[in-house]
A = this chain, B = another copy of it.
Amino acid sequence: MIRDAPARRVTIVDVARHAHVSTTTVSKVLRNAAGASPAMRARVQRAIAELGYRPYTGARGMRGRTFTIGVMLPDIRNPFFADVLDGLTGGLRDTGYQVLHGTGRNGEHIEARVTEAMVDRGMDGLILVAPISSGAHLERIARTVPTVVVGRHGRSTIYDTVADDDHAGAHLVVAHLVGLGHRRIALIDHHETNPVRLAEMPNAVRAAGYRDAMRTHGLADEIDVVSTTYTHDGGYLGTRQLLTRPAPPTAVFTGADIVAMGALQALAEAGLSVPADISIAGYDNTAIAAFGPISLTSVDQAGQQIGANAARLLLDRIADRHTPASHLKLTPRLVARRTTAPPRL
């Protein structure tokens, strides 16, 4: 025989029998609820340890709680989300909640599947990181289970949000580049048509911030936006497109570090050197930006803090569903590195 018949799981009934008490008492000890004497507690604890009992979450769920927090991440490859996740798990440590995550893959359909799967599994709270779902879907979810949305700028009354101040972040970058003497500053943006998302998604807000900052610095005529995608390939293609301009930009602001990577690759292939020929700035300050040989100027939006705050808000929301929704906006910070310098001449 290759593997034993899977031994029946130890249940609360087994523990009760083994400790010569009722299941009620065991349950009280488990939840350390009132109504069990210290002596009983000790006895039950011992039985639990001896039998290696672990409560079955499915059954607990049927009575209301699963001690599980679901986290929807759009993309496991973006290290910024890893920072957020670190902050989250840090904030949820020692709370008795277990964090499980699912990947939405930046697809509306897959994202809906993941979030509904989490609801179906009776999770006690949800954290949705940079979701692309419609506001209506988000509100429907949030009405069912306490929810915090990270990295999106809507001001729902139903769910809390934590986001980076992307508008300010874009201003930081433009100000930095203008300060270095640049005027032809282009933006590589993530193409977006949906009007709701156009207002709420970080990329849209960054783009708006860029336009606004350009105008503020009297560079309204130099506004130049290429719409691609927030991917390595998007940065590559967008940059190639920019290089065909009659007067190519002297600096490119990419809305995300990965996009900047694609841009760097396109520039290397075109034989242009950074920052001598052209300056590049990213957004997110991911580990790769800090990496020496790359040394990308970027905007740090403090993923860990965002995650930690989201965790805190979620715990508050679970504790009381009736307080008004909070909307936190964290201030970003420019990290100037070696991919930005004054333009030639």
When distances are taken between beta carbons in the complex, the residues of chain B under 8 Å from A264 are 292-293
Q: How far is the CA of A118 from the CA of B98 in the complex (A)?
A: 10
Within A234-248, the residues touching B (CB, 8 Å) are: none
Interface string of A71-114 (1 = CB under 8 A from B): 00000110101100100010000000011111100000000011
Q: Is A261 an interface residue (CB 8 A)?
A: yes
When distances are taken between beta carbons in the complex, the residues of chain B under 8 Å from A54 are 116, 119-120
When distances are taken between beta carbons in the complex, the residues of chain B under 8 Å from A70 are 100
When distances are taken between beta carbons in the complex, the residues of chain B under 8 Å from A142 are 3
Q: How far is the CA of A54 from the CA of B79 in the complex (A)?
A: 34
Q: How far is the CA of A58 from the CA of B58 in the complex (A)?
A: 4
Q: Is A7 an interface residue (CB 8 A)?
A: yes
| Shortest Cβ distance from A119 into B: residue | B54
Interface residue range, chain A: 35 or more
A57-B122, A100-B100, A101-B100 known; A158 vs B3 contact (CB < 8 Å) = yes
Within the complex, which residue of B102, B143, B265, B292 is in contact with A101, where a contact is CB–CB below 8 Å? B102
Q: How far is the CA of A62 from the CA of B122 in the complex (A)?
A: 13
Contact call B55/A120, Cβ cutoff below 8 A: yes
Which of A190-198, A307-315, A318-326 lines the interface with chain B? A318-326
